[in-house]
Amino acid sequence: MKISIYLKTQQLKLQDEDGCVLRCYPVSTALKGAGELSGSYCTPRGLHIIRAKIGAGCPENAVFVRRRPTGEIYSEALGAQFPQRDWILTRILWLSGCEAGFNRLGSCDTMHRYIYIHGTPDSEPVGEARSHGCIRMRNADLIELYDLVPAGTPVEIVE
């Protein structure tokens, strides 16, 4: 299997070994566009893999901080209480770059930038660029994707 993320159309496609599209989901990538530099708040392009899957068995809308569930479940009331938080919900697919000098190692390392595919509050739009660099998905879509792909799955992020 392979995941392709298209920045221009804000879509994630899951494909089988023959390139047939198995699933297509709307996503939200970086508001600041594409870029690999640490601190840029951009979504890194190129070839990646899913380095780690985090959150198996957690409930939908489980809140994560530093890749750990906090015990909180996101709600509108919690969102209103902490309006500036960048919510990482439900599951995390942590990406690692595969291209040394472009998205791996040094100041452009995707993994050390903590770039994930993760859930977002249902009130947040998807299908348009709004994130701080990660790839945001609807929680139900993320659970489905998480259950379909193993760690090590290739991920290509293209403009």
Q: Report residue 42's pLDDT band, with 50, 70 and 90 as the boundaries.
A: very high
* Mean pLDDT confidence for 64-85: 96
CATH number of 2-158: 2.40.440.10
Domain ranges of the chain: 2-158
Question: Do 90 and 143 form a contact (C-beta atoms < 8 A)?
Answer: yes
Which residues, including other chains, have CB under 8 Å from residue 131's CB and lie 6 or more apart? 28, 29, 30, 31, 43, 120
DSSP string for residues in 73-141:
E--HHHHHHSTT----EEEEEEEEE-SBTTTBSGGG-TTTTT-EEEE--TTS--SS--BSSSEEE-HHH
- Cα separation, 26 vs 8, in Å, equals 11
Give the number of other CB atoms < 10 A from CB of residue 33.
13
Structure tokens belonging to residue 98: 């595969």
pLDDT score recorded for residue 100: 97
- Cα separation, 17 vs 102, in Å, equals 26
- Give pTM, 2 decimals: 0.96
pLDDT digits (tens, 9 = 90+) for 4-17: 999 999 999 999 99
DSSP state at residue 30: B
pLDDT digits (tens, 9 = 90+) for 82-118: 999 999 999 999 999 999 999 999 999 999 999 999 9
